[in-house]
Chains A and B, each alone.
Chain A
Amino acid sequence: MSRGASLGRASSTPAEACIDAPGRSPGKILVVDDEPLVRKKMTHHLHKLGYHVLEAADGAEALEVAQRERPDLMILDWIMPKLDGPTLCERLKGDPAHRTMQLILMTAHDKPEQIAEGLARGADDFLSKAASLQETTARVQAGLRAHALVKELESARDTLNRSYQLLAHHQEELETDLRSAAEFVQSLLPPSGNWAPGVTLSWQYLPSKALGGDLFNVAVWGERDLGFCILDASGQGASAALRAATLMSLLRTSSVVRHVCSYDPGAIVTEMNRRFPLSPEGDYFTLWVGALNLPSRVLRFSTAGHAGAVLFRSGGTMVPLARATFPLGFQPETQYTSQTLTLETGDRLFLFSDGLYETRSPTAELWGRERLESVLAGSGNTPLAEALSRTVRAARDWHQQEHFLDDAALLGLEMIDQSPPVA
């Protein structure tokens, strides 16, 4: 076995023979052949073409040089001592560090079965030992083009991977923020239970993954009224949630007293309509406000485009508590009025957001108000909290996914035996 010298300058081993071609951007090619004459002839030819050429005299040495120099292309003989060409191909293709290197196997014969074996073991191309210089040149150029393309693809893949990791990181941050925001929104919700003698309250709140703008509240207004409201900010995301929290802060007892000077639902909705005009993007609120006078059980309510309000009488009759009204901001001069009705023991009032009944099945069919009202009607004999759970479960069963696309809120108030009556 010869350990050939470099062409152009002296080197300690043939493998380190390096031919520089100033002014060009050569590919780096490793020529592996145990026959010095064949190797030198190939090296000389490639050098004349301007490539950066390295040599190795057998497969084992080629592995060492490849590890150190990372050539772009290797031309290797089939039969060599220590490590033959196909085995060297296998080793190199099995190493991710050499995945882009193009391997051209030199053969004395071009038998189909030999070519098939070479390809199966990792060779990218073949070159007959009898090939002309033109053919050799063309195959080397094709191999280097393939190498450049594979490198480009790998680089694009790496860029994509980095972008994906960055996106995944941002997504995780965003989801953490949204979870925190959802927890904050939930902290604004009232506690369940008996709010006043004769009134019990329960609710279900399911924030969407993207966070929405549903909120509701219950508060004691003055000495005799229980106030409650539900609002829905159009749109989704943190913007809707922030807008909803802003409006809800104005519906707190102290704000109502300061800004409206009245607990009349119509006056409250009218004032909120004045304060929250339609945004330049068309964002707005629907709002439903009720005030229950505890001694008389007279409910006054007013609505601004909020469809989700129904009363189930103890006998099962359903009374819609919504009517055609502008949502907040649609018409700044609108004067909203209050309606009244008297509640009786066993009556149940439900307030809900459209995210609950606008949920869709996997085939995109809407659940719809009719189904929602049907479940509520069918739950009249079950405890209030269970009736709400059952309703949400029915919506989830319809949707068949963990998160709804929009926030879903459901608030229930039930008139229970009054003892003792509020003075």
Chain B
Amino acid sequence: MQIVHTSHEDVTTIQMLGDFTFNSRRDLSAAIEKARTTNCRTILLNVEHVSFMDSAALGVLALYSNLLKCEGRRLVLLRPQERVREILTIANIPAIIPICLSEDDLPPISKQAPRPERV
């Protein structure tokens, strides 16, 4: 899996390419840890080019969803493919991680909320 990391204002985008599986979960963890060194409020995982996620990958998403929430941040998934969306849905991931179809659809975040600290 390839990962491209970009930051813009309050949002850090992590673009993922390829399968997201047990073997690549460390890559994503490293990318999210890097994002946690900034004080961005939103970490946007662009999974548009991810064709498959396995159960180990879901565990990483759940783990970071909980962790980021505690830090006052949020994890958002962008444009999952149909098969990936099915995998996410059966694990009820949309209930804990918002899914967006475009960057413009990001749910608003309160500007009054304090910015998270860099880790």
Whether the Cβ atoms of A358 and B92 lie closer than 8 Å is no
Whether the Cβ atoms of B55 and A278 lie closer than 8 Å is no
What CA separation (Å) do A358 and B54 show in the bound complex? 8
Interface string of B22-40 (1 = CB under 8 A from A): 1001000000000000000
Collect the chain B residues with CB atoms within 8 Å of residue A37's CB: none
Of the stretches A141-149, A266-274, A322-330, the one at the interface is A322-330
Q: Which label, helix, strand, loop or mixed, suits the secondary structure of the B interface?
A: helix
- Closest-CB distance, B118 to chain A (whole angstroms): 21
What CA separation (Å) do A2 and B62 show in the bound complex? 88
What CA separation (Å) do A282 and B32 show in the bound complex? 14
Q: Given the interface contacts A282-B62, A305-B90, does A330 sit within 8 Å of B96 by beta carbon?
A: yes
Q: Given the interface contacts A278-B63, A278-B66, A330-B62, does A235 sit within 8 Å of B92 by beta carbon?
A: no
What CA separation (Å) do A120 and B25 show in the bound complex? 55
Collect the chain A residues with CB atoms within 8 Å of residue B58's CB: 234, 284, 305, 327
A354 near B: Cβ within 8 Å? yes
Interface string of B80-92 (1 = CB under 8 A from A): 0001000001111
Whether the Cβ atoms of A278 and B56 lie closer than 8 Å is no
Interface string of A247-288 (1 = CB under 8 A from B): 000000000000000000000000000000011111110100
What CA separation (Å) do A323 and B92 show in the bound complex? 9
What CA separation (Å) do A307 and B62 show in the bound complex? 17
What is the chain A residue whose CB lies nearest that of B29? A282
Collect the chain A residues with CB atoms within 8 Å of residue B66's CB: 278
Collect the chain A residues with CB atoms within 8 Å of residue B95's CB: 324, 326
Collect the chain A residues with CB atoms within 8 Å of residue B83's CB: 366
- Closest-CB distance, B78 to chain A (whole angstroms): 20
Whether the Cβ atoms of A234 and B55 lie closer than 8 Å is yes
Q: Please tell me which one of the listed residues A235, A305, A322 contacts residue B56 in the complex, with CB atoms under 8 A apart.
A: A235
Interface string of A302-339 (1 = CB under 8 A from B): 00010100000000000000111111011100000000
Whether the Cβ atoms of B59 and A322 lie closer than 8 Å is no
What CA separation (Å) do A327 and B83 show in the bound complex? 18
A236 near B: Cβ within 8 Å? yes
Q: Given the interface contacts A278-B66, A366-B52, does A234 sit within 8 Å of B90 by beta carbon?
A: no
What is the chain B residue whose CB lies nearest that of A354? B55
Q: Given the interface contacts A236-B22, A282-B25, does A325 sit within 8 Å of B92 by beta carbon?
A: yes
Whether the Cβ atoms of A286 and B22 lie closer than 8 Å is no
What CA separation (Å) do A37 and B55 show in the bound complex? 82
Collect the chain A residues with CB atoms within 8 Å of residue B90's CB: 305, 307, 322-324
How many residues of A are in contact with the other chain, CB < 8 A?
Answer: 27
What CA separation (Å) do A154 and B115 show in the bound complex? 60
- Closest-CB distance, B71 to chain A (whole angstroms): 16
B60 near A: Cβ within 8 Å? yes
Whether the Cβ atoms of B92 and A305 lie closer than 8 Å is yes
**Which residues 340-392 of A sit at the B interface, judged by CB distance below 8 A?**
354, 358, 366
Collect the chain A residues with CB atoms within 8 Å of residue B52's CB: 358, 366
A232 near B: Cβ within 8 Å? yes
What is the chain B residue whose CB lies nearest that of A236? B22
Whether the Cβ atoms of B22 and A284 lie closer than 8 Å is no
Collect the chain B residues with CB atoms within 8 Å of residue A326's CB: 91-92, 95-96
**Which residues 7-63 of B sit at the A interface, judged by CB distance below 8 A?**
22, 25, 52, 54-56, 58-60, 62-63
Whether the Cβ atoms of B59 and A282 lie closer than 8 Å is yes
What CA separation (Å) do A278 and B25 show in the bound complex? 15
**Which residues 92-111 of A sit at the B interface, judged by CB distance below 8 A?**
none
What CA separation (Å) do A330 and B63 show in the bound complex? 8
**Which residues 187-230 of A sit at the B interface, judged by CB distance below 8 A?**
none
- Known: A280-B63, A282-B25; 17 extra A-B contacts, CB below 8 A, are A234-B55, A235-B55, A281-B59, A282-B62, A284-B58, A305-B58, A307-B90, A322-B90, A324-B90, A324-B91, A325-B91, A325-B92, A326-B91, A326-B95, A330-B62, A358-B52, A366-B52
A-B contact pairs, 15 of them (CB 8 A): A232-B55, A234-B58, A235-B22, A235-B56, A236-B22, A281-B63, A282-B59, A284-B55, A305-B58, A322-B90, A324-B91, A325-B91, A327-B62, A331-B96, A366-B83
